[in-house]
Structure 1
C-alpha cells in the first residue's frame, strides 16, 4: 500500500509555484504492530489447528470402537496430544496479547 502526501512548496520557481507536488513517503516499521499481528495470527492458527486435531481424534475414536484396533487408539492419542499442545499455544498467545494490551493501557 503506497501513500502519497500533497505538499505545497513556496520555494519553487514562480512558474511551478501553483502546482501541487506529490512526494512519496515511506512507511516505517513499527515493532508493536508486528508483535500484535504475530500474536493474533498465532492465536487464530492454534485455534484452527485445535479444531482440526479434535475432529481427527473423534474420527480415530470412532474407528477404534468400530474395529477394536490398537493402531487407532495410538492415532487417537497422537491427535489428542497435538490438540492439547495447540490449545495451550492459543491460551499462551491470548495471555501474552492481554498482558501487552494491559501494559499499553497503563492499568
Structure 2
C-alpha cells in the first residue's frame, strides 16, 4: 500500500502553511447601480448571457441524448441549435464592437 500523503500528516500549526484566508481577502469591489450602465451595453450583455446559456445547454444535452438515449435526430438538432447560438453571440459582439469603434473614431 501507499504511505500517508502530505495532507494526511498531522501538523501542529496548519495555519502557517495556508495562511489566514479570511484576512487575506481583497477589499470589496465597488457596487455599481444598474442605472449607471448604458442601456445598449446592458441589453447586449444580458442577451449574450441568455444565448450563452441556451448554447451551453444545447451543446451538452444534445450529444448525451444522441449517445445515451439513441435519439440521434434530437441530439443533432440540439447541437445545431447550440452552434447557431454561439454564432449569434459572436455576431452580437462584433456588431457592438463595430458600433463603439465608429463612435470612438468619429
Aligned length: 68
Structure 2's unaligned 5+ residue stretches are: 1-36
Structure 1 length-normalised TM: 0.50
Task: Supply the RMSD in Å over aligned alpha carbons.
Answer: 2.3
Distance 1:41 1:75 in 2: 28
Structure 1's unaligned 5+ residue stretches are: 1-35
Q: In the alignment, which of 71, 74, 79 is matched to residue 76 of structure 1?
A: 79
Contact 2:52 2:85 (8 Å CA) reproduced: no
Kindly state the Cα deviation for residue 85 of structure 1 after the two structures are TM-superposed.
Answer: 1.6
Question: Aligned residue for 1:63?
Answer: 65
Q: Does 1:47 align with 2:39?
A: no
The structure whose Rg is larger is 1
Kindly state the Cα deviation for residue 98 of structure 1 after the two structures are TM-superposed.
Answer: 2.4
Higher-RCO chain (CA-CA 8 Å, sequence separation at least 6): 1
Kindly state the Cα deviation for residue 64 of structure 1 after the two structures are TM-superposed.
Answer: 1.8
Question: Aligned residue for 1:91?
Answer: 94
Kindly state the Cα deviation for residue 75 of structure 1 after the two structures are TM-superposed.
Answer: 2.1
Q: Which structure: greater strand fraction? A: 1
Q: Match of 2:38, SS?
A: helix
